[in-house]
Amino acid sequence: MAELKQTFFQECEELLGALEQKLQALDEGSSDPEDVNAAFRAIHSIKGGAGAFGCTELVGFAHVFEASLDHLRSGRVAIEDAPFTLFLRCSDAVADLVAAARNDEPATERPDLLAALEQVGKEPVVPAPVPAPVAVSVPAAPIADNDAPVGIAALGNLLALVDAKIAAPAQPVDDGWDDEPVAAPVPAVAKPGRSLRLRITPETDLFRRVIEPRVVLGSLPEADIVAVRCDLSRIPPLETLDVTDCWMCFEVDLRTELPIEDLHGR
């Protein structure tokens, strides 16, 4: 494992170089979609290897960075509108996290960069116009001693609704990894799109390439995943099993508006 880990960090140097090179080209005016795809693949590969070796801080930062770059791949954010200055700063932050993991040193957290990345692709919040007050003549009525003022009563009702919401028991959700299946709550309104089932069969040398099986699922749109099942039927008998081979398959149920070609491209 020590030798594999060292190989991973050596590959990270090449991936970080490619990431910075592509982001720099885009910042200088390139509109080549392949530059975006190459940058996305670089951070995706770094995240996958980091997950295999338990580099939690690196995985968390790379995941948010990867999601922001995916907005460029999908066209949700136009290349000319992308914050490449932010992306280049985040590339430097990933390099620092890789160095910390390589030297077994504490990682420096960057909540400021994470917060900025999470805003990429989001629509700006425009406050609703405030209507002009309308004067209405209403005869004054005395308030009984046992009645609260209208504003206080409304606030009390609002607090009661909040308390009821907090006290409501959380519904279990099937994340696809529990030993026992858990029924997912039925949404009040059906999610738009169509239902699809993907069967993902990783190559048997997945472990030898230092990739965790769950990383294979990381590029799917998380909000569209309904359920994930792991199929172990392909695993050979114990006496013939080679522990360096991956025999797991995954079935993923999706409710999505994305075209099948886009899912396969991920």
pLDDT digits (tens, 9 = 90+) for 155-211: 455 455 545 545 555 455 454 544 455 455 555 566 788 888 878 888 887 766 666
Q: Which pair of structure tokens corresponds to residue 235?
A: 């695993």
What mean pLDDT is predicted for residues 41-60? Answer: 93
Q: Does residue 232 have a pLDDT over 50?
A: yes
- Mean pLDDT check: name the lowest of 7-11, 12-16, 180-184: 180-184
d(CA 237, CA 225): 32
Sequence-distant (6+) residues with CB within 8 A of 108 are 96, 97, 100
Using alpha carbons, select from 46, 54, 29, 145 the residue that is nearest to residue 98: 46
3-state secondary structure of 234: coil
pLDDT of residue 146: 44
d(CA 198, CA 250): 8
Which numeric CATH code is attached to 2-118? 1.20.120.160
Q: Where are the domains of the chain?
A: 2-118, 194-265
How far does CA 253 lie from the centroid of its chain?
17
pLDDT of residue 255: 85
Torsion of CA 220, 178, 248, 52, to 10 degrees: 70
What pLDDT band is residue 243 in, cutting at 50, 70 and 90? low
d(CA 185, CA 164): 19
Q: How many CB atoms lie within 10 A of CB 180?
A: 5
3-state secondary structure of 111: helix
At 3, phi and psi to the nearest 5? -70, -40
